Amino acid sequence: MNKTLILALLLLATGPVQALDILLTNDDGYQEPGINIMFDVLTAAGHNVVMVAPKTEQSGRGMAWNTQLFGFVEIGSAGPNKWFVDGTPVDCVQAGIDIFFGTAGNGKKPDVIVSGANFGQNAGLLVPQSGTVGAAQKGLLRGIPSIAVSVERASEAATVGAMDDAARFTAQIIDKISQRPYRRPFFCPWVPNYYLCRVPEQKLNLPPGVGLNINYPALDAADTAGAVYTQISSWTPIDFTIFATDPSNPALGGFAAFELDQRPPTEREKHEDAYLLDQGYVTVTALDPDLNVGPAEDYLIQKALGDLAP
């Protein structure tokens, strides 16, 4: 059974809700409405939330880090249980885990990391470059269940207006997947190297090393088309590129801008996150930082490479 199918089944679980220790971050910056609304909603839901977010906007930074080895990193208070770090989303995750939950938290780890809500979607081809998703990916690589949350880019009023509903939806998802904590399968003593047996038990009922990527349309909850679990698409209705100031003379430089003229989606892509979000659906996809390919692809690559020599 693959990880995607396991995740889809686990999202159907029911049971009692429990309070969690949550590390909250983003890439828009600690003063932005998305993260502060998320902080309020998750706190009101009974969770212990510690916000550690960038001092300045860090959109599009992916999993980059800003810190230099042995260099000073500015950390400041932004209010009760709220902190900023002069760094990237990944820097904030590292500081959150190792300082605010580590040193200051007596060595414990957060039960879950939430990154967002971001101003602008992170679906389809936008996923790899996203600082919002990068923070969640880093959390997963540190062995902590992580969720990235983004709200579709529209007018400022529409996007910010949907952030309350996006935060409430996230709280509902957290409640749903915390109803049955992950416990290692009964057969692990006999097959300890099986991937489900190699990771610590956790309070969220997700496959080990797999998180969630949530994208919410810039709509009121009642106006959405619904909510679906789907796949990350290879299509996007919007992308970023560099346009030449003067196409006849590249030495004059260029400028970064949105590229709106994208190819139409295939029939398969119409059932994946970017297109469904564009149609008004809330989308939930699995998030897996494992960059390895499967056994079949491994075999084909080894066969193509043949014997290797330096």
- Name the β-bridge partners of 85: 54, 75
d(CA 133, CA 147): 8
The whole-number pLDDT of residue 4 equals 57
| Residue (of 220, 236, 234, 222) closest to 277 by Cα position | 236
Residue 122 CB-density burial (10 A; 0-12 exposed, 13-18 middle, 19+ buried): buried
Tell whether the torsion through CA atoms of 11, 23, 211 and 118 is positive or negative: positive
- Residue 28's contacts (CB-CB under 8 Å, 6 or more residues apart) are 34, 35, 54, 57, 58, 59, 118, 119
Domain membership flag for residue 194? yes
Beta strand 48-54 with 75-79 is unpaired
The domain of 91 spans 3-234+265-305
Spatial CB neighbours of 142, under 8 Å, sequence gap ≥ 6: 93, 97, 109
Q: Within a domain: residue 168? A: yes
Note whether residue 259 is domain-resident: no
Query: Around 197, how many Cα atoms within 13 Å sit in the side-chain half-sphere?
Result: 10
pLDDT value of residue 2: 58
Is 289 inside a domain boundary? yes
User: What CATH code is carried by the domain that includes residue 48?
Assistant: 3.40.1210.10
pLDDT in tens, the chain (310 residues): 555 555 555 555 444 457 999 999 999 999 999 999 999 999 999 999 999 999 999 998 899 988 678 889 999 999 999 999 999 999 999 999 999 997 766 678 999 999 999 999 999 999 999 999 999 999 999 999 999 999 999 999 999 999 999 999 999 999 999 887 777 888 888 988 887 787 777 888 888 889 999 999 999 999 999 999 999 999 988 888 898 999 899 999 998 887 876 789 999 999 999 999 999 999 999 999 988 988 999 999 999 999 999 9
The total number of structural domains that make up the chain: 1
Q: Let me know if residue 249 belongs to a domain.
A: no
Q: How far apart are CA 96 and CA 258, in angstroms?
A: 33
Looking at residue 255, its amino acid is: F
Q: 206-233 burial string, b = 16+ CB within 10 Å, else e?
A: bbbbbbbbbbbbbbeeeebeebeebbbb
Please state the length of the chain.
Answer: 310
Backbone angles phi, psi at 48, to 5 degrees: -90, 105
Q: Compute CA distances 60 → 57, 73, 75, 130, whole Å.
A: 9, 21, 22, 5
Q: According to the model, what pLDDT value does residue 106 have?
A: 67
The phi, psi pair for 76, rounded to 5°, reads -140, 160
pLDDT for res 238: 82
Question: How many Å is the Cα radius of gyration of the chain?
Answer: 20
Q: What's the pLDDT score for residue 200? A: 72
Q: How many CB atoms lie within 10 A of CB 114?
A: 35
Contact 123, 217 (CB under 8 A): no
pTM of the model: 0.88
Dist. CA 26–CA 98, nearest whole Å: 17
Instruction: Report if residue 115 sits inside a domain.
Output: yes
What pLDDT does residue 179 have? 84
- Beta strands 281-287 and 226-230: pairing type? parallel
Q: Let me know if residue 310 belongs to a domain.
A: no
pLDDT of residue 6: 53
Give a yes or no: residue 241 inside a domain: no
